[in-house]
Amino acid sequence: MALTAEFRETKAVDAAARRSVSVLGSTGSIGVSTLDLIERDRERFDLVALTAHKNVASLIEQARRLRPQFAVIGDLLLYDELKAGLEGTGIEVGAGRDAVIEAALRPAEWVMAGIVGTAGLAPTLAAVRRGAAVALANKECLVSAGALFLAEVSRSGATLLPVDSEHNAIFQVLEADKLHTVDRIILTASGGPFRTWSLDEMALATPKQAVAHPKWDMGAKISVDSATLMNKGLELIEAHYLFPVGEPRLEIIIHPESIIHSMVGYVDGSVLAQLGSPDMRTPISYALAWPNRMPTPCARLNLSEIAKLTFEEPDPVRFPALRLAREALRAGGAAPTILNAANEIAVAAFLGGHIGFLDIAAIVESVLTRGVKSGGRPADLEEIYEIDRIARIQAEELVHLARR
């Protein structure tokens, strides 16, 4: 497991101690939620760096309000606008890929890895390599490069703190030093907006319908992943790397209320669950304050009002993404990287109105079947980027064939 029991003991800190933090992807939903928590307890946190990709207006507003040491915009063309917007503040500014990596290398004890997509791989790895505590909200780091990341965590002594609500729930109830007592790990899924839809109905689904998640407020891409259940498939692969109990002991169950975020079953028959309102500030706060806890404004559960919690098995026919993710995990090597890259292209094409909802999984499966000959497990980021690039080209070709 990326976070060991030994780390819990040797790096425990005073609950009132100040902590230096950087937020990579500060203008996205995860970044905004992280800064909301920091601002509510501002005296406890020294803000080292903030980064964004293109949302320069929001980055300027955040930086002027919270005064980090360093603010970076990923798009080089927006450097002048960022510089002008922060003139007179004393905040150092930067732009471009190298500057984002530099932000990750600045000496913050805790780094939120909230950059979406493969753009987050290099800066997150940079933070890992210098031994930071990395709050991991970027799926691609473990889906596309899991073995590489865990090897660097082991080498540097860094810490991975899972932020996805499901992995964070497991983290809270798992006895990390007693994995031999774990019978199974159960990831819960809301089922998304199409949980009860027929295949014929799903074939006609629009992007607007797909992003209308019944429980969580998320970005468009992750909302579509939730609708296809690919999001849960990617989380299955992440769980494999974070909690090494073996793929057969990783289960997925549909839980429409999204109150139980995940469960761990033990060999004695006990099942421990983490419950909470569907608000990402809860798992973020657990990572931000770890190994302690901090207050949040999240709604408190009233179980008598909820009245019931329901569960059902996922339908493999209507939601083939779960099968594809498991197949990619079992195949190993380049397969998870291919899965992720093809899915990103297919989802973008669906959101653009170019393909149908059911075409997403079909395109991903076709790219996986064609495969990319990479010579086994990717050895470094450059090899991962090349596998990703080729898979995207193949997916684009299939999108062109399927265009409406």
- How far is residue 400's CA from residue 404's CA, in Å, rounded to a whole number? 9
CB of 347 closer than 8 Å to CB of 396:
no
Give the pLDDT score at 403: 84
Domain of residue 76, residue span:
5-163
| Crossing angle (nearest 10°) for helices 357-370 and 220-228 | 80
> Is 313 a domain residue?
no
- How far is residue 69's CA from residue 49's CA, in Å, rounded to a whole number? 6
> Is 347 a domain residue?
no
Give the pLDDT score at 216: 66
- What contacts 393, CB < 8 A, 6 or more positions away? none
**Which region holds residue 229: left if phi is over 0, alpha if psi is between -120 and 50, else beta?**
left
Give the pLDDT score at 7: 36
Q: What are the pLDDT tens digits along the chain (404 aa)?
A: 445 333 334 344 455 689 999 999 999 999 999 999 999 999 999 999 999 999 999 999 999 999 999 999 999 999 999 999 999 999 999 999 999 999 999 999 999 999 988 899 999 999 999 999 999 999 889 999 999 999 999 999 999 999 999 999 999 999 988 999 999 999 999 999 999 999 999 999 999 999 987 766 677 888 999 999 999 999 999 999 999 999 999 999 999 999 999 999 999 999 999 999 989 999 999 999 999 999 999 999 998 998 899 999 999 999 999 999 999 999 999 999 999 999 999 999 999 999 999 999 999 999 999 885 544 678 899 999 999 999 999 999 999 998 86
Strand partners, 111: 22, 134
Give the pLDDT score at 371: 80
pLDDT tens digits, 50-63 = 999 999 999 999 99
CATH assignment of the domain containing 134: 3.40.50.720
Number of domains making up the chain: 1
> Is 43 a domain residue?
yes
> Is 342 a domain residue?
no
> Is 86 a domain residue?
yes
Global pTM value: 0.91
Give the pLDDT score at 379: 83
Preceding amide of 193 cis, omega within 30: no
> Is 137 a domain residue?
yes
DSSP-derived secondary structure letter, 286? H
Q: What is the DSSP string of 69-87?
A: SEEEES-GGGHHHHHHHTT
> Is 336 a domain residue?
no
Which residue shows structure tokens 């607007």?
208
Give the pLDDT score at 365: 97
pLDDT tens digits, 116-167 = 888 999 999 999 999 999 999 998 899 999 999 999 999 999 999 999 999 9
> Is 69 a domain residue?
yes
* Beta pairing, strands 92-95 & 70-73: parallel
Helix, strand, coil tally for the chain in percent (to 5): 50, 15, 35
CB of 187 closer than 8 Å to CB of 166:
yes
Give the pLDDT score at 221: 87
- How far is residue 183's CA from residue 270's CA, in Å, rounded to a whole number? 9
